[in-house]
Structure formats: C-alpha cells, structure tokens
Amino acid sequence: MIDRSRITGVILAGGRATRMGQRDKGLERFRDAPLAAHALERLAPQVATTVISANRHLDAYAALGPPVVADTIAGHAGPLAGFAAVLDHCETDYLAAVPCDAPFFPLDLVARLGRVLETGTAHTLAYARTASRTHPVFSLVSRTLAPSLIAYLGDGGRAVRGWIATVDAIAVDFDDEAAFGNLNTIAELRQAEDRG
C-alpha cells in the first residue's frame, strides 16, 4: 500500500455545474456545510495534504482550509484541467482525486486504490469501478503521468475515460454503488440529506 505521506488529495470543484443551474456546486449547502467540505472531510484523513481545484469563488473555497488551484487551461476544460493544474503544483508522488459533489465516497478509497498500484505491476493510475459502471474521476494518479496528461489536453482531449485509455490504468472494484453517487441537482442534494 502506498503510504499516505506520498499522496496529495484534490477536491475537483472547477466545473460549470450546468445541471445545477450554473450555481457553484461545491459551495451549495449540504447538512449545514458546503458540499466540498464534506468531500474534504472524507479525503483529508486518507492523504498527506489536500488541495481544492476551483475556477470561481476562490476565496470561499480557500476559507475551507486547503490551497486553491485554478485551471491553467481556459474555458472550463473539465476535470482533467483540474488534474493538470494540481499535478503542476504537486510535491508528492501521487495525486488522489474526488469530485466535490460526492459526499459518501469510501473512507478507504485511497488505500484500496493505492494497494493495487503497489502490487509490483507497472500500473500508474487506479480508478474506482462498481457493478454498473466505472468512476474514473475517483482515481489515484502517479505524478509521472503529468506529461501524458498535458499532451492529451494539448491535442484537444477532454474526456477522463479517453485519457485513462492512453495510460497504464487499472480499475478497482467497490461494492457500494451509492457511495459514488454525484449530487448534480438541487433536488438530488435535498433527497440525499437523510442518507446515513
């Protein structure tokens, strides 16, 4: 297993939140705290240090504690732009990423992804998979992949799955489908308030 001291965690909060009416999703209130704060609370114990990737309301995100890094690629280029910006500042060997709108992801997410990368294989990226689908944004990425990511973005690539297909990646199976659920609308946010 990769020691947490070698991992930086990033909360990805730089999207446009089109399904939430352009509201800044990570700052929407959920159980009396910003949605991004819940992701931070779950991720922080799993890594050495945390960063928030955001492109709006940077001061509000900075108030949550970690440094805030904005995309260096203009036009809201998606989660990979956040990955790239944070990898550029990353001082650890690995970057663990989670979206800001998934407040129930596993408390052992990073450890389980790291266990697979430390099995002596050549894999440089691990991501979550459940029975019904893959969840590539929930991932652990070797810092050595930064040049590959920059090249992919430079060629106009934007899809996380598209980039993952170009590197030595491995899916890690998780049983709890609901743990990876994204709260994309205000209605979903309110419905999730009562979940344990």
Q: What is the per-residue pLDDT across 101-136, written as a single tens digit (0 to 9) for each?
A: 999 999 999 999 999 998 767 899 999 999 999 999
pLDDT band at 152 (very low <50, low <70, confident <90, very high): very high
3-state secondary structure of 193: helix
The label of the residue with tokens 């989670």 reads: 98
* pLDDT of 28 higher than 80: yes
Among 183, 170, 98, 177, CA closest to 130: 177
Among 146, 70, 141, 138, CA closest to 99: 138
Kindly state the average pLDDT of the residues 38-48: 97
Give the pairing of strands 29-30 and 33-34. Answer: antiparallel
* pLDDT of 174 higher than 80: yes
- State the Cα–Cα distance between residues 31 and 195, nearest whole angstrom: 10
The structure tokens listed for 48 are 């050495």
Q: What is the DSSP letter of 190?
A: H
User: Which is more confident, 188 or 34?
Assistant: 34
Q: What percent of the chain has pLDDT over 90?
A: 68
Task: State residue 185's pLDDT score.
Answer: 75
Helices 79-89, 146-154: inter-axial angle, 10-degree rounding: 140
Give the pairing of strands 134-142 and 49-54. Answer: unpaired
The domain that holds 173 is classified in CATH as 3.90.550.10
The structure tokens listed for 99 are 């979206």
Task: State residue 170's pLDDT score.
Answer: 95
Task: State residue 25's pLDDT score.
Answer: 86
Range in 51-65, 69-83, 97-111 with the lowest mean pLDDT: 69-83
Domain count, the chain: 1
Domain boundaries, position 108: 4-194
